[in-house]
Structure 1
Amino acid sequence: MTASAIIVAAGIGARLGSGVPKAFVKIGGRTMLSYSLGAVGQVNSIGEVVITVPEGFESAARAEAAAAGVGVPVKITPGGIERQDSVRIALGLTSSESELVIVHDAARPLATPAIFEACLAAAARAGGAIAAIPVADTLKRVADSAIAATVARTGLWQAQTPQAFRRDLLVAAHRGAVSEGIVATDDADLVERTGVRVEVVEGSTANIKITTPSDLAIVEAIVAAHKAGRST
Structure 2
Amino acid sequence: MNILIIEDEKRIADLLEDYLKAEGYSTQQLNTGANAVKTIRDTHPDLVLLDIMLPEVDGITICQNVRKTSQVPIIMVSAKVEEMDRILGLDLGADDYICKPFSPREVMARVRAVLRRHYEMKQPSEWTLDETRSQIHYQEQSVALTAVEFALFQVLYEHPGQIFSRTQLMNRIYQDGRIVSDRTVDSHIKKLRQKMHQVWPQTDVIHSVYGIGYKFEVLEEGDPGLNDQQADMASVAAD
TM-score range, shorter chain: under 0.3
Larger radius of gyration: 2
**Please, what TM-score do these two structures have when normalized by structure 1?**
0.28
**Please, what TM-score do these two structures have when normalized by structure 2?**
0.27
Q: Which has the higher contact order (CA 8 A, sep 6+)?
A: 1
Structure ranking higher in helix proportion: 2
